[in-house]
Amino acid sequence: MSSLHDLWTLGGQSPWLDNLRRDWIQDGELQQWVDRGVRGVTSNPSIFQKAIEGQAIYDEQFGELINSGASVEEAYWGLVTTDITRALDILAPVHEASNGLDGYVSVEVAPSLARDTEGTLKAARELFAKINKPNLYIKIPGTAEGIPAIRDVLASGISVNVTLLFSVARYGEIIDAHFDALEAIDGPLDHVSSVASFFVSRVDHAVDEQLAKIGSPEAQALMGKAAVANAKLAYELFLNRYQGPRWDALKSRGAQPQRPLWASTSTKNPAYPKTLYVDSLIGPNTVNTMPEVTIAAFETEGVIGRNADRALDEAHATLDAIAALGIDLDAITTELENQGVSAFEQAFDDLLVSLGKKAEQLTSGT
C-alpha cells in the first residue's frame, strides 16, 4: 500500500492527479497512477496546451480531423474528448468500486465562456452528451456568471466540478447553487455528483507579495499562512452547511455532499515544504488534486493526519491579522479569479494558434 492509499483509508481524502497526457493513456502510466492510489483525474486548458503542443502523438488524429473538414477548434475538441473518454475508461473501476464517489475525470468548457451563463450551459450539455460517461465531470468556473449555469447543469443531472474558487464567500454561493440544483430534481439523487475546486497556493503567493512589501516583523510572521487558513475556513463552511434538516432531506434521497477539492496544491515558494498544501488540509470528504511532482513528494515526505478542521480559531486569527495590516483578501481573491480566467483563455488561444499553423502545414503539404 502506498501513501496515497493511506491518504484515503486513514485521512478520508481522495488523491487525484492534476494532469493528463495521451502517452500516459497509451503506455499504461495512467493505470500505474491508479494502481498507486490515484482516485481521479483533473484537466484544464493549460494542461491540454502542454500535452498537445509537446507531443507528436496527437498529430495523426489532428491531421485526420483537419482533412475531414473539421475546423481547428473542432479538431481540438476531438483530441480532448478522445483523451478524456479513454481516461474515463481507465478510471471506471474506481468509480464502480467507490459507488460513484471517485473515479472521475474532469473536462472544462471553453475558457471564453467563463463570463457567459447561457454559453456555458449549452457547452456543458453538449460536452456531456458527446462523451456520455457516468464518471465524467464537466468543469465550470465558479464566476458570478457561472453560478446559474452550475445550478442548471447540476439540476439536469450532469455532474460538475466547479473550478477557480478562491474566496470563502464565493464558495458559499456555490454551496447554495448545489442545494438549489438538488432540490429541483425529482426522484433519487445518487446519480449526481459534484466537487468544488478551491485554489490554495496562489493565495499565499499573492498575500506574501503584500506582506513582503510591508516588511514588519508582524507581516513576516504571517508569510505562508494565508492560503491554508483560507482553505480551512472553506472546510469549516462545508462542515456547517452539509448538516441539518435541509441537507438531511436531500441525503435521504441519496445525495452526496459537494466535496471541497483542494486545487493549486503544488508549492510555489521553494522555501516552503513541498507537501505544505497536502499535509495541512487532510480531512474527511475532501479531495486533493496534485501534479505528479507533488504526488511524488507526498509519497516520500507527506505526513498523514486529520487537520483540515483543526486549529480553526488560529485560522480565523491569521486572516484577521492579515486584514489588520491593511491587506484586502477579498480584493486579492477577486483578482486571482480574473487572472485564472485570463490564464486559461490565453492558454486556449495560444494552443489554437499553434494548431492553426499545424493545420496550414498539413493542408499545404509541407
How many Cα atoms sit within 13 Å of 249 on the Cβ side?
9
Active-site residue, from 130, 139, 225, 358: 139
Cβ atoms of 308 and 283 closer than 8 Å? yes
Provide the terminal-to-terminal Cα distance of the chain, rounded to the nearest Å.
51
Give just the sign of the alpha carbon dihedral 95, 138, 331, 347. positive
Report which of 269, 264, 261 is spatially closest to residue 238, judged by C-alpha positions: 261
* Distances in whole angstroms, Cα of residue 136 to Cα of each of 165, 218, 276, 294, 322: 20, 46, 29, 24, 39
State how far the Cα of 176 lies from the Cα of 162, in Å rounded to an integer: 13
Give CA angle at 259 (253, 265), nearest 5°: 170
Give CA angle at 28 (23, 29), nearest 5°: 70
Query: For residue 314, how many other CB atoms are within 10 A of its CB?
Result: 11
Longest dimension (CA), the chain: 66
139 given a catalytic annotation: yes
DSSP codes of every residue in 54-104: H-GGGHHHHHHHHHTT--HHHHHHHHHHHHHHHHHHHHHHHHHHTTTSS-E
Give just the sign of the alpha carbon dihedral 116, 118, 123, 124. positive
Cell of 3: 501513501
Strand partners, 320: none
Report the catalytic residues.
139
